[in-house]
Amino acid sequence: MHNTDHGKIHATTVPEDTSSSDAPGRSHSAHSMSRRQFLAMKAGAYLALTKPRVIELLLVTTFPSMILAQGGLPNLVLVLHTLIGGALAAGAAGVLNCYIDRDIDEVMNRTKRRPLVTGEVSPREALVFGWVLTAISLAWFAVFVHIQAALLTAGAIAIYVVGYTIILKRRTAQNIVWGGLAGCMPVFIGWSAVTETLSWGAVMLFLVIFFWTPPHYWPLSMKFKRDYANAGVPMLPVVAGTRRVAFEMIAYTIAMIIASLGVWFFERDKMTWVYPVVALALGVWFLWMCIDMYRKARSGARKVGEMKVFHGSITYLTLLFVAVAVDVFLPL
């Protein structure tokens, strides 16, 4: 619930548009398409603001956490309610992040096609949409899951929107480290949905994602280092050399591997030996990619394979949580 700044949501350089048709390039395009096409375009723009790919990754960690908490297959209606609420909450956080960051999105090549930059959605529309999604997601959890899950969800949104986007992102190179706490919260939310409490197994899964976040996001920051520099966002690869970044990624990855094995240690009554073997193998594989990046950086190579590590990190997390889910059902 991956994804800033001057302490005030309105402290951005882009003026508040009160009409979506006032945005540059919008009026002509709106007149040249049918109402159905316009509504489809608008719906697509609203969807893009929710950052669907981030939502997918968050949901990948929620369901396996629920399975491990249950020690088997949880109530499927509860799973559905939890996943819907989680998607709404993650979408709300993504929309509010886009609203606050619209000034820096405008100067970054990676984000300059986002709907608030192109004018497909006005700032006011985005702000209302974000708050509406927030209210619906919290009400959804309160009604269909329970209050504790709703409170954890509120905390996740607050960490991402206030902690990361408003306070940390433009102030410190450790922004993604502590802002990444929001991405860890789906584990707690899913676990709590099933048990109405938390355990050390949930804490270990939480720490896996916490330690995974920097070596996942910093390679992407390396790729778009110039973008972040132009936007005045002090991501670690902007303010430090590639060698130091790669070294810190190795340290976080080692901690991540230890946490992944900690999951089995605390939940071994529900799991087999298959999970720790898979977790260790995946961890060593990802660690080797980080070490290889460090070796290339140390040798002065211009290309260090940062996007290979970025995509590898997604593969690692997905397969690890698949292993969490599958292992519970193994008759060993």
Q: Does 30 fall in a domain?
A: no
Residues 191-244: tens digit of each pLDDT: 999 999 999 999 999 999 999 999 999 999 999 999 999 999 999 999 999 999
Q: Does 25 fall in a domain?
A: no
Rounded Cα distance between 246 and 253, Å, is: 10
- Residue-number span of the structural domain to which 192 is assigned: 1-16+43-196
With 0.75 as the threshold, say if the pTM is over it.
Answer: yes
Rounded Cα distance between 297 and 286, Å, is: 17
Same domain for 212 and 172? no
Same domain for 3 and 89? yes
The total domain count for the chain is: 2
State residue 176's pLDDT score: 94
DSSP string, 49-62: HT-HHHHHHHHHHH
Residues 9-64: tens digit of each pLDDT: 333 333 333 333 344 444 444 456 788 888 888 899 999 999 998 888 888 999 99
User: What does the DSSP 8-state code read for residue 162?
Assistant: I
Same domain for 186 and 204? no
112 to 101, 119, 320: CA distances (angstroms): 11, 11, 33
Rounded Cα distance between 70 and 194, Å, is: 6
How buried is 326 (Cβ within 10 angstroms: 0-12 exposed, 13-18 middle, 19+ buried)? middle
State residue 55's pLDDT score: 86
State residue 4's pLDDT score: 38
Q: Which residues of 77-94 are buried (b: 16+ CB within 10 A; e: fewer)?
A: ebbebbbbbbbbbbbbbb
Q: What percent of the chain has pLDDT over 70?
A: 90
- Which residue among 172, 196, 220 closes a domain? 196
Rounded Cα distance between 73 and 76, Å, is: 8
State residue 298's pLDDT score: 93
- Which residue among 164, 196, 228 closes a domain? 196
Same domain for 208 and 247? yes
CATH number for the domain spanning 208: value is 1.20.120
